[in-house]
Amino acid sequence: MKQSMPIIITIDGPGAAGKTVVGKMVATSLGCMFLDTGGMYRAVTRRALELDIDLKDGGELSALASNMSMQLETDEDGIDRLWVDGKDFTDELRSAEVERNVSIVAKIPGVRLAMVEKQRAISRDKHIVMVGRDIGTVVLKDAPIKIYLTASVQERARRRSLEMESLGRELDPHQVREDLDRRDMIDSRREDSPLRPAEDAITINTDGIEIEDIVGRIVAIARRI
């Protein structure tokens, strides 16, 4: 692996396909920073809900997104954390209400434009693994390594339910699946940056595959470059 060039890896895919856990492990293995860009859209959604902003008001939401300050900082334990307007938001973005509404906010062109600019700024001159839904197709189109993770909706619903349980939030499994289906439909059909793999992305279906095997495959690809 050529250390003279920044290591840039994009990992895209639908919700609960394994992007975050895989991305974190890949970043740790390669000594890169890690950014889950979905957290940035969740942060905008949470602030909009807190401020009682109409989620159909694209202008107000775009202004909110543009004016929010976002930085990626590594804490004393070596964990990369998202700071929003001077506050660590990393552990506060997984509420059911935010999860249900984030795709509505994320499909607004002005919000996406603001987030893309912030994501590019965060990645500049860094070794980074960035995960999301349009990283390889829009945000970092020139990244040398692009991965697209997918899985069946049944498996993704199971994973999301377990994730929520680990956070002390028990949800109806049927509602979890409906929310995933709904978000997939919104994200794949939006006009601006629809969810899809980049033409040069390596697609990996994570059903029935151990996380360590997926991580090992991506790390091996990075080390060959």
Q: What is the pLDDT of residues 17-36, one digit of tens each?
A: 999 999 999 999 999 999 99
pLDDT tens-digit series, residues 53-72 = 999 999 999 999 999 999 99
13 lies in some domain: yes
pLDDT tens-digit series, residues 182-209 = 989 988 998 889 999 999 999 999 999 9
Q: Starting at the edge strand that comes first in sequence, how are the strands of the sheet with 8-12 ordered? A: 33-36, 128-132, 8-12, 145-150, 202-205
The whole-number pLDDT of residue 191 equals: 87
d(CA 110, CA 52): 19
d(CA 19, CA 211): 10
The whole-number pLDDT of residue 132 equals: 97
Q: Starting at the edge strand that comes first in sequence, how are the strands of the sheet with 70-74 ordered? A: 70-74, 80-84, 87-88
1 lies in some domain: no
Residue 8 · residue 145 · CB < 8 Å:
yes
2 lies in some domain: no
Residue 135 reports pLDDT greater than 80:
yes
Q: How many domains does the chain have?
A: 1
d(CA 218, CA 206): 13
98 lies in some domain: yes
Q: 197: domain range?
A: 8-224
The whole-number pLDDT of residue 183 equals: 87
Q: pLDDT grade, residue 164 (50/70/90)?
A: confident
Residue 20 maps to which CATH number? 3.40.50.300
Residue 128 · residue 34 · CB < 8 Å:
yes
Q: For the chain, give the percent of residues with pLDDT over 90.
A: 80
DSSP reduced 3-state for 18: coil
Burial class (CB in 10 A: 0-12, 13-18, 19+), 197: middle
Name the amino acid, one letter, at 151.
Answer: A
Give the CA dihedral 74, 75, 81, 85, nearest 10 degrees.
-100
d(CA 212, CA 201): 20
d(CA 45, CA 150): 24
Closest CA to 137 of 127, 128, 147: 147
The whole-number pLDDT of residue 3 equals: 53
The whole-number pLDDT of residue 163 equals: 84
- pLDDT (mean) for 153-159: 93
Residue 13 · residue 184 · CB < 8 Å:
no
